Chains A and B, each alone.
Chain A
């Protein structure tokens, strides 16, 4: 079965703290793609990152970083020095090469408290 699990339903941290959002996926395919999206209160989903299954290099983009580990089927997202503007729902997603329909996790609602 193909599945994306975001076990953290809701997280609250104080501004400037670091926070990690967990994502665990299941697939039997060897070729697949992983994504993270941000959904601010306005509702529009904003694309953050795409990673293919053959590239396990971690990625850093400003205060955002992603840790992809095939051994544990995880693709975790860390925000360093969080800011109030980071408050949103974050979705992890998976596309398998043979199917191509995107599978979203249920999302993690992140509250950054001033």
Chain B
């Protein structure tokens, strides 16, 4: 089955620790995205990648970092510089970077204690 997987579903970390969220897709999509969703809120774009080995900052990139070394993988690291990291994180992909629908993974709920 083609799709996007995110792991883990729930993640707990102590304040001050970096944590990496996994996102893998087997849809052969060029573009990938990371969003953050806070309770009762819409989605905010953290980082996006139009193609492998390339990525750009979204609207709220501070305190986050990404890499795109493989087409199918786009991991997100939440660093200790992120002031309020507790949130629901959604990864998405689209076939190309230009007006196409995005398909989403199941999300990772990160709680920083």
Instruction: Give the number of chain A interface residues (Cβ < 8 Å).
Output: 22
Is the interface on chain B under 10, 10 to 19, 20 to 34, or 35 or more residues? 20 to 34
Main secondary structure of the interface of A (DSSP, over half): strand
Contacts of A42 in B (CB 8 A): 106
Task: Give the residue of B45, B97, B98, B104 whose beta carbon is less than 8 angstroms from that of A44.
Answer: B104
**Minimum distance in angstroms from B24 CB to a CB of chain A:** 15
Task: Give the residue of B58, B100, B103 whose beta carbon is less than 8 angstroms from that of A101.
Answer: B58
| B55 contacts A by Cβ under 8 Å | no
Contacts of A35 in B (CB 8 A): 101
Please judge, given known A-B contacts A43-B88, A101-B48, A106-B41, whether A50 and B100 are in contact too, CB under 8 Å: yes
Which residues of A are in contact with B by a Cβ distance under 8 Å?
A: 32-33, 35, 37, 42-47, 50, 52, 91, 95, 97, 100-102, 104-107
Which residues of B are in contact with A by a Cβ distance under 8 Å?
A: 41-43, 45, 48, 58, 88, 90, 92, 97-107, 109
